[in-house]
A and B are shown apart, each in its own frame.
Chain A
Amino acid sequence: MSEGTRAKIRKILTFVEEIHSEMGRGVEPPTRRAAAVAVIENPFAGKYVQDLSELMDIGEELGELLTQRAVACLGIPATSVESYGKAAAVGEDGELEHAAAILHPKLGAPVRRVLGKGAALIPSAKKRGGMGVPLDIPLGHKDAAFVRSHFDAMEVRVPDAPRAGEIVVAIAVTDSGRPLARIGGLTKEQIKGEDGLR
């Protein structure tokens, strides 16, 4: 990866899914989800380290990088993103807390900076696993967590990662909710956008 980055990146992947129909019924326009995923070295693999601030800084860096890459895949203005989510998978020589250090303290701010807003909590998932472990990235509306049409998830996996000393970090964004959403609840048109919930 380019000079000056904290994260030692082995690989970046992007995924775009467009859903054109469900049960033979057209989805127009197609709903689209995109994810950007980085495979990085885990600086704390194989040992217990009390201070995880290095991983927090890496999270901040990846928050910006991966959000930009994922939005670019959708080809829309960043402000048009509707929902988001994040996830990490730690290789077998790391601990779950390493994923937490990347995802929770500092990753969110640059995500929101790129998107222009993001009042809602960024839903997240984490696990420890071997190479190819699937990550189900939870998705929720970026400005109001209770928007029911946007409760969703996107599965990603990297066949050759995480190796034992690596971490897979993923950010997903969408331009829409579920295809053919029809189970009621708060709609995106009803968002007040003040508390991040409704």
Chain B
Amino acid sequence: MHEVKVRKMVTVVEYIYHEGGPVAEKPLRRAAALAVIHNPFAGSFFLEIQDFMEDLKPLGLAMANSLVSALGGAVSEIEGYGKGAIVGAAGELEHGALWHAPGGYGMREVLGGAKAIVASTKKVGGPGTRLDVPITHINASYVRSHFDSMEVGIADSPRADEILLALVMTSGPRIHNRAGGLAASEIQGKDGLR
């Protein structure tokens, strides 16, 4: 059991009205919740690290809830999601992998049964490192209109002994999506893929 020590929380919301094409009636919204936490494993190699996943669950849930609030409060309006982590220099990539379970758990719990795997990315980096968090449809990974990403980062994070954790949600497809493929209206919703 490790205490989850949060130094900083950052919330970013984007409202996208157009990208050179027709102006949307309702802007596409993307939101990212970022938490900068102390890395309890920084500086040494620890074989057993899995317990930390359980410790991170309440934070994952809190961040997922804050994203729904940031996007207007209605769970029914959330259509895409993703997650990521940046591990500070005194840690290892495997520490970032500990975010997969609690980050995904938090979002599924809040969204109530999202079926698709939560797309993710992670890296080791210094303060100010940017991370392109991948985004896919919450119920069917192959929905092409919802393949997206959101770049996040914090100027002073992560320090060497920290981990920057990220969750992202969106309110819909890319603003001028027209690249074809599986449409959200065609989702069968059985396997999380189509």
Contact = CB atoms under 8 A, between A and B. Distances in A.
Complex A-B, nearest 10 residue pairs according to Cβ-Cβ distance, in ascending order: A159-B151, A12-B15, A155-B155, A18-B9, A16-B11, A14-B13, A13-B14, A17-B10, A21-B7, A20-B6
B49 interface: no
B5 interface: yes
A45 B2 CA distance: 54
Contact of B15 (A11, A21, A24): A11
Interface of A: 1, 9-22, 24, 30, 73, 134, 155, 159
A30 B7 CA distance: 10
Interface in B16-30: 16-19, 23, 27
Interface in B121-136: 130
A15 B155 contact: no
5 contacts: A11-B17, A14-B11, A16-B11, A18-B10, A155-B155
B14 A19 contact: no
A13 B11 CA distance: 10
Interface residues of B, number: 21
B174 to A, nearest CB: 12
Contacts of B5: 21, 24
A36 to B, nearest CB: 9
B12 interface: yes
A124 B14 CA distance: 23
A11 B155 CA distance: 22
B16 A11 contact: yes
Contacts of B14: 11-13
B7 A19 contact: yes
Given A14-B12, A155-B155, A22 B7 contact: yes
Nearest to A38: B15
A18 B8 contact: yes
Nearest to B11: A16
B8 A19 contact: yes
Given A11-B15, A12-B17, A134-B155, 20 more contacts: A1-B17, A1-B23, A10-B17, A10-B18, A10-B19, A11-B14, A11-B17, A12-B14, A12-B27, A14-B11, A14-B13, A16-B9, A16-B11, A17-B9, A17-B154, A20-B9, A21-B7, A30-B9, A73-B11, A155-B155
Nearest to A18: B9
Given A10-B19, A159-B151, A20 B7 contact: yes
Given A19-B7, A22-B7, A155-B155, A13 B12 contact: yes
B84 to A, nearest CB: 14
Contacts of A9: 17
A9 to B, nearest CB: 6
Interface centre among A9, A17, A22 (most CB of B within 10 A): A17
Contacts of B16: 10-11
A142 B5 CA distance: 32
B155 A13 contact: no
A77 B74 CA distance: 24
Contact of B11 (A12, A15, A24): A15
A31 B106 CA distance: 26
A20 B3 CA distance: 14
Interface string B147-159: 0000100110000
A13 B30 CA distance: 9
